[in-house]
Amino acid sequence: MTPANTTHIIRAPVEVRCQQELEKLKAWDRWSKPPGWQLSPRAVEVFVLGDSSLGIRPKYVGDRERVQVAIATLASDRALLLVGEPGTAKSWLSEHLSAAICGNSQLTVQGTAGTTEDQIKYSWNYALLIAEGPSERALVPSPILTAMRKGQIARFEEVTRCASEVQDALISILSEKAMAIPELERIEYAQRGFNIIATANTRDRGVNEMSSALKRRFNFVELPVLSDLQQEVQIVRQRAQEMLSEQGLPTDLPDDVVETLVTVFQELRQGQTLDGAQKIKRPSTVMSTAEAVSVLFGGCLLAHYFGEGTVDGKHVMNLLVGAIAKEDKSDLDALGEYLETVVRKREGRVWRQIASARRLLKE
C-alpha cells in the first residue's frame, strides 16, 4: 500500500522515493519483460546499478554479475536467497529489486524466532470467524499470499532466524506456486510475476540448518563484504548524503573525513592495516558498511547541531566509540590499541583529531 501523503514520512518506500526514475525507465525500456514484470531484466539492472547517461543513480555498488544472477533468478521458477555478513546491503538490494520488478517493495515477512506459519500463509479475523465462520471476509492474507494473488515479489527478511518447521511452510509455495486454504475448500494459485526474495545473515546460527528440500527451491547469491577502499568510500558518501538531504541538511562531506573513517572500518574489520604491514586486534562487533554510514551521518548531525557545521574526526570518533561498544565493551580495548599503535603515528588532520579523542575510551 503506497502512502497518499509522503511529506512527513521518515522513510518512504523505494517505489515512492524513486518514482521518477522508475517512470523514466518504463519509457526507455525496449527489451522483453518476463510475465508480470513492469520492467525488463536489463532495465531492472540499470535501476539497481545506475546509468549516468540516463540520469539513473546507482542504488547498489557491487559486482554486476551477482546482480544479474539475482535478477535472472527472479525471472525463473526458483526463489532468491541473498546471503552475507550483516551490513552487506541484503535488505537494501531486496527492496530495490522488488520495487523495480513489480512496483511494490512492502510485501515483507520479518523472520524471527517467534515467526509463525500463519504469518507466512494466512490468519483469521476472529470476530468475523466466530460470527460467520470461515469466509473470504474473515481471511487475513499474509504478505506472501497477497504477492501470490497480485503476481508480485514477496520479501522474507532473515529467513534462517525462523524455526525449521516455519521455514518449511515455504516448500509447497515455492515448488507448486500454490497455497491450500482447506477452511475455504480451495487452493490459491500464484499469478505470473510472483516470487520470493529471502535474506540470511551468515553470522546467525541456523543459516546452514535450512532443510535440503527448502534449499533446492532457492538460488543462493552471496553479497561479499567490500574490500575495495574507494568503492566503500563511494557507498558511504552517497548514502550519508542521501540521509542528510532527507533531513534538509547540507550534504557537503570532506573527502579526508570520509576516506579516513572507511579506512578505520576496513582495518578493524580485516585485523590489519591496509598495507598489510601491521596486525591489529579485531573487535567482535560487526564493522559493516552500513555501520560506517551510520557513524558518518551521526557525526554530521553532531557537527550541524552542536559544532561549526562541518564534520571532522572528533565528531565521527564520538559515534565510533558507541558503534564498537554496543555488543561488548571489551571491544573498546581493541579500539584503544588501534588508536595507540596505528592512528597516533599517522599524519593528517583527521587522523590527529581521531587520535586526540582517545579520552572518550576512558569516560
Residue 265 pLDDT class (50, 70, 90 cuts):
very high
Q: Is residue 294 predicted with pLDDT exceeding 80?
A: yes
Averaged pLDDT for residues 63-85: 96
The answer to whether the Cα torsion of 93, 95, 101, 103 is positive or negative is negative
Q: Is residue 277 predicted with pLDDT exceeding 70?
A: yes
How far apart are alpha carbons 192 and 34 in whole angstroms? 9
How far apart are alpha carbons 272 and 281 in whole angstroms? 8
Please give the full DSSP string across 241-307, using - where no structure is assigned. Answer: HHHHHHTT------HHHHHHHHHHHHHHHHTB-TTSS-B-PPPSS---HHHHHHHHHHHHHHHHHHS
Among 271, 311, 275, which Cα is nearest to 293's? 311
Identify the three-state secondary structure at position 38: coil
Averaged pLDDT for residues 117-123: 96
> Per residue in 169-184, pLDDT tens?
999 999 999 999 999 9
Averaged pLDDT for residues 329-348: 90
How far apart are alpha carbons 244 and 76 in whole angstroms? 38
pLDDT of 128: 95
Structure pTM?
A: 0.90
Q: What is the CATH number of domain 14-223?
A: 3.40.50.300
User: Which amino acid belongs to residue 148?
Assistant: M
Could you tell me the residue ranges of all domains in the chain? 14-223, 229-362
Among 64, 59, 51, which Cα is nearest to 24's? 51
Task: Give me the residues paired with residue 110 across strands.
Answer: 157
Helix (H) or strand (E) holding 5: none
Mean pLDDT of the chain: 92
Identify the three-state secondary structure at position 48: helix
**Secondary structure, 3-state, 137-202:** CCEEECHHHHHHHHCCEEEEECHHHCCHHHHCHHHHHHHHCEEEEHHHCEEEECCCCCEEEEEEEC
Identify the three-state secondary structure at position 220: strand
How far apart are alpha carbons 338 and 103 in whole angstroms? 46
pLDDT of 178: 97
> Per residue in 186-220, pLDDT tens?
999 999 999 999 999 887 655 447 889 999 999 99
DSSP state of 319: H
Angle at 294 between CA 288 and CA 300, to 5 degrees: 140
How far apart are alpha carbons 330 and 357 in whole angstroms? 18
Helix (H) or strand (E) holding 83: strand 79-84
Residue 304 pLDDT class (50, 70, 90 cuts):
very high
The answer to whether the Cα torsion of 126, 195, 177, 187 is positive or negative is positive
Cell numbers standing for residue 22: 522508475
> Per residue in 235-262, pLDDT tens?
999 999 999 998 889 999 999 999 999 9
